[in-house]
């Protein structure tokens, strides 16, 4: 088949039409190009250009109450902070706790990875997933034998609802900031089918769904801050196998059984002295304690031992970098046993790095 070829009459019209189109294109004025803005000038955001807020919602109702003094610090290790994160702000906080128990020859290196997000005015959501490294030596293991296991611990989820703001950050006697917190524990750690040859070092959780309710308080009175937290935790029953270590780190099961833990009381408080506002530098004196009873609030008598302890843990802190939308605070401390009952003496070196992202409202207290 021959290739398609236009008729002779169509060929004669091709050149005149091409010439006319070329003249029209040449005669048409070319619009002037807008000058490009200088490289160091940032174009306005959609929010800045939207003067009537037709495109971007009005964020003013979500704006937190700014404190005239309240530097960004790492704060205490075990006591919560009453003020919640502003909407659009969040922080990521990796902790390191090394629970050393010389009498048992054990070390529990817990590295919780925490994320806190401001979700609405006066509301915050938090999640913490710990990475756990258990190490056992004599007398937990036979003489001369050391065993180590790595795993994920139990996951914590909690919601914070701030009830009041700090009335006056320069007066001790004014109203403090107060918050209620609901916390839930998910048994994501390993606690079943434990290997006898690992001498319990492969256990990274207790297998229980837990629910807790906490009251948290913080009061500024420049250059100091005080913190307080108290809570009640309900540990739901769980079925475990042999070799399961109970919450006091001392009792152990010899056969499969249903575990009923007693009611758990949590309490902590701290005194913080900020020596330098800009750097968030200072020191923290904190106490922390837990007490598990022999009775559960809902499930009757416990079949696990009752225990309690109180620790004291001094620490130091500093913030760097402290400018811009991202700030990082650094903290380090050491916990010592002040009192313990049916619980092994525990010494805990600790550290934390808190990476803050300041959203549209910045960090509370800025």
Q: What pTM, to 2 d.p., does this model score?
A: 0.82
Expressed in angstroms, the distance from the first to the final Cα of the chain is 82
Q: What is the CA radius of gyration of the chain?
A: 31
**Per-residue pLDDT band at 325 (split at 50, 70, 90):** confident
Name, in order, each residue with C-beta under 8 angstroms of 163's C-beta and a sequence gap of 6 or more: 122, 178, 179, 180
CA of residue 250 relative to chain centroid, distance: 29
Give 246-279 pLDDT, tens digit per residue.
999 998 999 999 999 999 999 999 999 999 999 9
Name, in order, each residue with C-beta under 8 angstroms of 345's C-beta and a sequence gap of 6 or more: 101, 102, 103, 337
List domains and CATH numbers for the chain: 69-357 (2.40.160.40)
Nearest-angstrom CA–CA distance, 102 and 271 = 29
Residue 361 backbone phi and psi in degrees, to 5:
-100, 0
Above pLDDT 90, what percent of the chain?
76
Nearest-angstrom CA–CA distance, 70 and 222 = 8
**Which has the closest alpha carbon to 235: 176, 182, 186, 180?**
186
Name, in order, each residue with C-beta under 8 angstroms of 79's C-beta and a sequence gap of 6 or more: 216, 227, 228, 229, 268, 269, 270, 286, 288
Q: CA torsion sign, 298 to 300 to 305 to 307?
A: positive
Give 142-172 pLDDT, tens digit per residue.
999 999 999 999 999 999 999 999 999 999 9
Give 83-139 pLDDT, tens digit per residue.
999 998 999 999 999 999 999 999 999 999 999 999 999 999 999 999 999 999 999
**Pairing status of strand 147-152 against strand 155-164:** unpaired
């Amino acid at each position: 088949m021959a290739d398609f070829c236009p008729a002779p009459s169509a060929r004669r019209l091709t050149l005149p039409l091409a010439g006319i189109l070329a003249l029209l294109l040449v005669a048409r004025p070319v619009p002037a190009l807008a000058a490009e803005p200088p490289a160091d000038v940032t174009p306005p955001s959609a929010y800045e250009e939207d003067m009537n807020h037709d495109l971007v919602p009005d964020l003013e109702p979500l704006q937190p109450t700014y404190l005239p003094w309240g530097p960004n610090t790492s704060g205490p290790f075990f006591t919560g902070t009453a003020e919640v994160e502003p909407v659009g702000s969040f922080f990521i906080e990796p902790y390191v706790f090394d629970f050393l128990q010389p009498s048992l020859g054990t070390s529990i290196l817990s590295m919780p990875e925490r994320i806190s997000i401001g979700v609405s005015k006066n509301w915050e959501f938090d999640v913490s997933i710990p990475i756990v490294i258990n190490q056992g030596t004599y007398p937990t293991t036979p003489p001369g034998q050391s065993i180590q296991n790595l795993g994920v611990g139990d996951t914590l989820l909690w919601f914070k609802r701030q009830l009041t703001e700090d009335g006056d950050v320069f007066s001790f006697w004014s109203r403090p900031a107060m918050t209620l917190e609901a916390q839930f524990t998910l048994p994501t750690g390993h606690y079943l089918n434990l290997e006898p040859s690992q001498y319990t070092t492969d256990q990274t959780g207790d297998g229980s769904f837990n629910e807790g309710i906490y009251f948290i308080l913080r009061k500024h009175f420049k250059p100091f801050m005080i913190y307080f937290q108290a809570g009640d935790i309900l540990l739901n029953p769980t079925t475990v196998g042999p070799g399961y270590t109970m919450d006091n780190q001392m009792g152990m099961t010899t056969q499969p059984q249903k575990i009923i833990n007693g009611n758990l009381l949590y309490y902590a408080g701290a005194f913080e002295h900020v020596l330098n506002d800009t750097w968030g530098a200072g020191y923290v004196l904190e106490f922390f304690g837990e007490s598990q009873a022999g009775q559960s609030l809902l499930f009757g008598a416990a079949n696990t031992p009752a225990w309690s302890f109180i620790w004291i843990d001094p620490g130091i802190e500093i913030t760097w970098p402290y400018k811009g939308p991202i700030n990082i605070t650094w903290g380090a401390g050491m916990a010592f046993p002040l009192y313990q009952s049916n619980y092994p003496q525990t010494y805990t070196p600790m550290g934390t790095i808190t990476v803050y992202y300041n959203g549209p409202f910045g960090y509370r207290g800025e």
